[in-house]
Amino acid sequence: MRRTTAMRTTLSAALLLGTWAAVGSQAASATDTPAHSTEAPASAQLLSAMQHDLGLTKSQAAARLAAEKTATAVEHKAKRAAGSSYGGSWFDAADGKLTVAVTRGADTDAVRATGASVRLVEHSARQLDAAKARIDALSAPSGISNWYVDVKTNKVVVNVVTAHQADNDVRAFLAKARKAGPVTVKQTAEAPKTFAAGTVGGDPYYTGNVRCSIGFSVIGGFVSAGHCDVHAGAVYGWDHSYVGNFQGSSFPDNDYSWVNVGSGWWTVPVVLGWGTVSDQLVRGSAEAPVGASICRSGSTSHWHCGTVLAKNETVNYSEGAVHQMTKTSVCAEPGDSGGSFISGDQAQGVTSGGWGNCSSGGETWYQPVNEILNRYGLTLQTA
């Protein structure tokens, strides 16, 4: 790839084409962060995006980001303090604090000492995860959308597509699921689907007849969604020049992949803001709690924000179930698959699928990035 002085407005260009000096200086100027600072302030564009998508004022958006950063740090301490009584945790936007669920017998004073609020529940996270694992072992019909541990209700929620709620195979699945533990059944209007798309011009990367979006740069390549690997061989960039090949992928069961980068392409720790926000530097991959704000970048619908709704969710696509997913209120559309989910400057995951679109709204799931890094022994590239 020839060196270019213009930054192309696609995610693959932002991650792979511009020189590090050019990308780094643009991102640094956007955040006005001095070299010795350990924490970059939120850009005006990021605050504006949160105002638009989450219905916040500028000061509310800034305060929420600060509170979420604190909650992320508190979550690890609170979980250790709760021990075997830990029942899950979530960020409460109303009071700006982390809420930790605990069962009877917990040292609630120790949990509160970490800065978290405490809620007493009947079932521990270990018990709920075990119930979900028993449901994971079942074969789900297409009328079952997804299931997950809902830490707020302290139950396992199974979502059924409304049009299929009376199907015999759906009823049989639900009867077995209810025997697994504390289960509640809800309805959803649509079944989830992946967000890959046919080839169109001017977008991040192609393989076979599929267009997808780059997730995050790693040393030697980038990570994306597993369903984007259609086993067609080479991966091509926005200009249709050769980038590399899929070095590993998994779908269904998981939905992740990684692609090596060569032939003059190189990697930088940047997520494209598509002009909605400044291109975002990636500084780590600390996992945001349920309830935290989160934003997504993709090649079709560009930049959108929402909140984390649930973790460790099983999503039942037509191709098969995918496990350990995180659900968000962020919208997405075909071609966004594999794209970046980021909270502040912390990488969260790669876009998998969902339902709805960015006109009417919807929900989107992502595969957590730390799982991908651990699976393939990759190192996230950070600023």
Q: Which residues are marked as active site?
A: 227, 255, 337
The single-letter DSSP state of residue 138 is S
- Extract the tokens encoding 18: 């511009």
- Extract the tokens encoding 1: 């790839």
Which SS3 state, helix, strand or coil, does residue 120 take?
A: strand
Rg of the chain over CA atoms, in angstroms? 21
Residue 357, beta-bridge partner list: 361
The set of residues, in sequence order, having a beta carbon less than 8 Å from that of 103 and lying 6+ positions away, is 85, 87, 120, 121, 122, 123, 124
According to DSSP, the β-strands at 97-102 and 117-120 are parallel
CA distance 48 to 30: 14
- Extract the tokens encoding 177: 């699921």
**Helical (H) or strand (E) element with 63:** helix 58-82
Neighbours of 336 (CB within 10 A): 33
Distance of CA 27 to the CA centre of its chain: 22
CA distance 112 to 277: 36
The set of residues, in sequence order, having a beta carbon less than 8 Å from that of 137 and lying 6+ positions away, is none
Phi, psi of 298 (to 5 degrees): -150, 160
Phi, psi of 121 (to 5 degrees): -130, 170
Taking the CA atoms of 201, 14, 306 and 373 in sequence, report the sign of the dihedral they define: positive
The set of residues, in sequence order, having a beta carbon less than 8 Å from that of 50 and lying 6+ positions away, is 56, 61, 64, 65, 293, 295, 305
Which SS3 state, helix, strand or coil, does residue 342 take?
A: strand
Smallest CA-to-CA distance from 305 within 343, 335, 333 is with 343
Distances from the Cα of 359 to the Cα of 50, 332, 354, angstroms: 17, 10, 14
